[in-house]
Amino acid sequence: MTPLLRPIRESDLAAYKTLRLEALQNHPEAFGSDYAEQAADPDSVWAGRIRASLQGESAHLLLADAGDELAGMLALFRDGGIKTRHAASLVSVYLRPAWRGQRLLDRMIHQALAWCATVQIRIVRLTVVTTNAPAIRCYHRCGFEVSGIQREVIHANNAYHDELLMWRRV
């Protein structure tokens, strides 16, 4: 089955929370957020993220719905300032292992970029840990270019991890 790509719904709260916490627990070096901190967040915080996505043009949470489970997720958050609202950050990208290697993330990114175009977002930025070669290849396939590197941004598993800064025009 090919997962359906769709925006998050309020009814996705439990599945979204499970998926996000799985990502943070399984790949702590890839996310700036911490598993224990987010696991302690009340459901009202999780519901607030969903509401922000449903309210319009400042956030977009996209899910890959495989029917019996969520296969993946990504989020876009638009910059808030009047001078910077033409840009957004792609964050919270995660695919469950069974769904990797099928170009599902490519499809998700292209759909997310299409949403950006509808709300006049011109630039999308992201960061990716330098050791995540499959994700970096995917981002390049989707038109992202490296614009820099941030050293020792993430501290996880008793090590510091660097991130590539990447961007593309919509």
**Beta carbons within 8 Å of 18's beta carbon, 6+ residues apart:** 70
Integer angstrom CA distances of residue 109 from 30, 62, 131, 139, 158: 18, 9, 20, 8, 31
Nearest residue to 95 (alpha-carbon basis) of 86, 77, 113, 107: 107
Q: How far apart are the first and last CA of the chain?
A: 29
Instruction: Look at residue 1 in the predicted model and tell me its pLDDT.
Output: 82
pLDDT of residue 89: 98
For the chain, 170 residues long, give each residue's pLDDT as a single digit of tens. Answer: 899 999 999 999 999 999 999 999 999 999 999 999 999 999 999 999 999 999 888 999 999 999 999 999 999 999 999 999 999 999 999 999 999 999 999 999 999 999 999 999 999 999 999 999 999 999 999 999 999 999 999 999 999 999 999 999 99
pTM, two decimal places: 0.95
Going by C-alpha positions, the residue among 114, 134, 121, 156 that lies closest to residue 28 is: 156
At 33, list the tokens.
Answer: 């957020």
Number of Cβ within 10 Å of residue 53's Cβ equals 22
CA 143 to chain centre: 16
Q: Alpha helices, DSSP H only, in 1-158?
A: 13-26, 35-39, 43-54, 104-118, 133-141
For residue 158, the model assigns a pLDDT of 96
Domains, the chain, ordered by start: 4-125 (3.40.630.30)
Output the pLDDT for position 127: 98
Residue with tokens 């997720």, as numbered in its chain:
73
